Copies of this chain bind each other. A is one copy, B any other.
Amino acid sequence: MGSRNPFEPRQVTSRRGGPVKQPLSRDAIVAAALDLLTREGLEGMSLRKVAAALDTGPASLYVYVEDLQELRTLVLDRALAGVETAGTRQHDWRHRLTALLESYLTVLERSPGLAQLAMSTIAAGPNALRFIEALLGLLDEAGVDQPTAAWAVDLINLYATAIAAEQGQREPLTNPLGPLLRVIGSVSAKEFPRIHAARDELLSGEGPDRFAWAIEVLLKGILHTPRRAPGDDAPPTGSPTRRKSRRPR
């Protein structure tokens, strides 16, 4: 029909009848991928489907994205933009830490497969950094010394991610039952007496209650396990190593 404007290339009606086809860009690709992930899960976020959603072929994406792994990293950080790190000034650090972690969990649970992706991706984008920065701030407020806080961030982050991944895993399944604990109700008292005896407790508890309990455990443990004893400024010279290293890394 009209002449082509090179600055707005190929204004074509989209397949889904949307207004206009966006020109390809890294951002558009990541946005489409996150949309697919949210609607169809991790398996649904293939390069071919992302390309199809953008009305192009899979080969076109390689201009903007190294490979699938890089796309996943970008998608994860884009999703983490939804994590609330602001934090109301009103509450104490404990409330705000819980709120921060619940926000993180909510974001991971909103897109099925995102938590799985978070478990298998390095995730050092700006939004992951913002999350870590906020965690460090709250631990500082809590009175945790810096070396301890540094490791604690890792522990908390890993646990929260793992919880989300585990819950995401059993969402498509049947019941609101436990994680690796479902066969447990019918376990033999002879072979596994303790599991049998504790089977009701093993299966009890809503996810959020367990999460809140676990966070309490982590915080209480962190507050009572400084990497250096309170008055111990210099690293000990005798080096009373905790345990023998399992292997060098």
- Which A residues form the contact surface with B (CB < 8 A)? 98, 102, 105-106, 116, 119-120, 122-124, 128-130, 132-133, 136-137, 140, 146-147, 149-155, 157-159, 161-163, 165-166, 169-170, 176, 178-184, 187, 191-195, 197-198, 201-202, 204-210, 212-214, 216-222, 224-225, 227, 242-243, 245-249
Contact = CB atoms under 8 A, between A and B. Distances in A.
Given A213-B242, A221-B220, A192 B133 contact: yes
Contact of A147 (B128, B176, B182, B201): B201
Contact of A248 (B123, B187, B206): B206
B198 A179 contact: no
Contacts of A116: 119-120
Contact of A183 (B124, B149, B191, B213): B124
Q: How many copies does the complex hold?
A: 2
Contacts of A210: 151, 154
Nearest to A99: B243
Contacts of A161: 162
Nearest to A159: B159
Contacts of A132: 180, 192, 195
Given A120-B169, A221-B216, A202 B159 contact: no
Contact of A129 (B147, B192, B216, B227): B192
Given A122-B182, A146-B197, A222 B227 contact: no
A245 B209 contact: yes
A129 B195 contact: yes
Nearest to A170: B122
10 contacts: A119-B169, A122-B170, A129-B191, A137-B194, A146-B197, A151-B210, A154-B178, A154-B210, A206-B249, A220-B221
Most buried by B among A150, A207, A222: A150
A150 B248 contact: no
A179 to B, nearest CB: 6
Nearest to A188: B129
> Closest 4 interchain pairs by CB?
A221-B221, A150-B201, A217-B221, A162-B162
